[in-house]
Amino acid sequence: MNWSWFHKLGSPKWFYQWAGRWGSPCVYLGALLLLIGIGWGLGFAPADYQQGNSFRIIYIHVPVAVLAQSCYLGLGVAGLVTLVWQMKLAPVFIKAVAPIGAVMAFIALVSGAIWGKPTWGTWWVWDARLTSVLVLFLLYMGVIAIQNTIEDRVFADKAAAVVSLVGTINLPIIKYSVEWWNTLHQPATFKLTEKPAMPMEMWLPLLFSALGLYVFCAGLAMWRMQNEVLHRERRANWVKKEVMGDGV
């Protein structure tokens, strides 16, 4: 197998150019897909027979919840890579993606809370999923806070890596513990309703919006990583050329 791509990935310059090629298409294509999915879901999917129209929140809620989790997984991997292989781009990834993940977790919380009002009659219950998303949000805040508080870059990177990694190990434990705790005490009515498999016309728009959000966030991540790379490599010659080059 040819590993040269992997070593190239370690090179900020190569990454910067690669991301320059793929970043914008991803962002705009993702946004388009997302809008299509949401528009479709809002306007054309049939209403749910139990929840009526409030279920339409699903088209933002689920993609965002899924992404919040995926992003954290990414952080954990990047944390491990930072500590073990000390690849230059891994901490850049952590710094760039943590805020994206935090926003996703935040939207998941807010959309879930709003959705809860008509369906459960309350904004918040101490349900397993909700609690674990809340914790996830806290984890993101921890990573962001540590990046922002520590001015020394090397230290900040290490610290953020430690937090991301430990958080990832902990995430399944939290999920499990919370689910277990909740099933002991929560009446089943609070569990997310297990509906029969969704009809196609409900499911397709969801697929679109989920896919769209993924691509959108990937693009954003590339942009943010580019920013970070520029900042970190500001002393390198290629950055100088890059910055001074585009229309002085």
Residue numbers of the site for ligand HEM (CB under 6 A)?
A: 58, 61-62, 65-66, 69, 108-109, 112-113, 115-116, 119-120, 129-130, 133, 192
Q: Is 81 in the site for other proteins (CB under 8 A)?
A: no
Helix 153-185, helix 89-120: angle, nearest 10: 30
C-alpha to C-alpha distance for 24 and 220, rounded to whole angstroms: 8
Of these partners, other proteins, ligand HEM, none, which one is at the site of residue 126 (CB under 5 to 8 Å by kind)? Answer: other proteins
For residue 173, with 0-12 CB atoms within 10 Å meaning exposed, 13-18 middle and 19 or more buried, which class applies? exposed
Of these partners, ligand HEM, other proteins, none, which one is at the site of residue 98 (CB under 5 to 8 Å by kind)? Answer: none
Q: Is 48 strand, coil or helix?
A: strand
C-alpha to C-alpha distance for 75 and 116, rounded to whole angstroms: 29
Q: Give me 158's structure tokens.
A: 């290490």
Stretch 112-131 residues interacting with other proteins (CB under 8 A): 114-115, 117-118, 122-126, 131
Distance of alpha carbon 213 from the chain centroid: 9
Of these partners, other proteins, ligand HEM, none, which one is at the site of residue 129 (CB under 5 to 8 Å by kind)? Answer: ligand HEM
Nearest approach, Cβ of residue 49 and other proteins (Å)? 13
Q: Give the one residue of 62, 77, 174, 198 binding other proteins; rule: CB under 8 A.
A: 174
Cβ-contact 22, 219 below 8 angstroms:
yes
Nearer to other proteins (CB atom), residue 17 or residue 227: 227
